[in-house]
Structure 1
Amino acid sequence: MPLPLEGPLLDDAAGRLIRPYTVSGGRTRPTAALDLLTLVMATGAAPGDRAGPEHTHALALCRGPLSVAELSAHLRLPVAVTKVVVSDLVEAGAVTVRAPSHYDNPTDRSLLEAVLDGLRRRL
Structure 2
Amino acid sequence: MAGDRTVPPEQPGSQWYDKEAGPLVRPYAMTGGRTRSGPYGVRFDLIALVSLDTGAPDADDDTGLGPEHRALIELCRIETQSVAELAAGADLLVGVVRVLLGDLLARGCVTVSRPVPPAQLPDEHILREVIDGLRAL
TM-score interval (norm. to shorter): 0.5 to 0.7
Instruction: Find the aligned partners of 2:17 and 2:117 in 1 and give their Cα distance.
Output: 40
Percent of aligned positions that are identical: 43
**1:20 paired to 2:27:** yes
SS of 2:97's equivalent in the other structure is helix
Deviation per CA, 1:52-101, whole angstroms, max 9, x where unpaired? 0010010000022100011011111111110001000000111000124x
- Residue 97 (structure 2) pairs with residue 82 (structure 1): yes
Q: TM-score with structure 2 length normalisation?
A: 0.61
Number of equivalences: 96
Q: Distance in 2 between matches of 1:10 and 1:97?
A: 35
**Are 1:58 and 1:71, in contact at CA under 8 Å, matched by a contact in 2?**
yes
Are positions 1:59 and 2:66 aligned together?
no
CA distance in 1, matches of 2:61, 2:44: 19
Runs of 4+ residues deviating >2 angstroms: 12-16, 46-50, 103-106
Aligned-pair Cα RMSD in Å: 2.6
Give 5+ residue unaligned stretches, structure 1: 1-8, 107-123
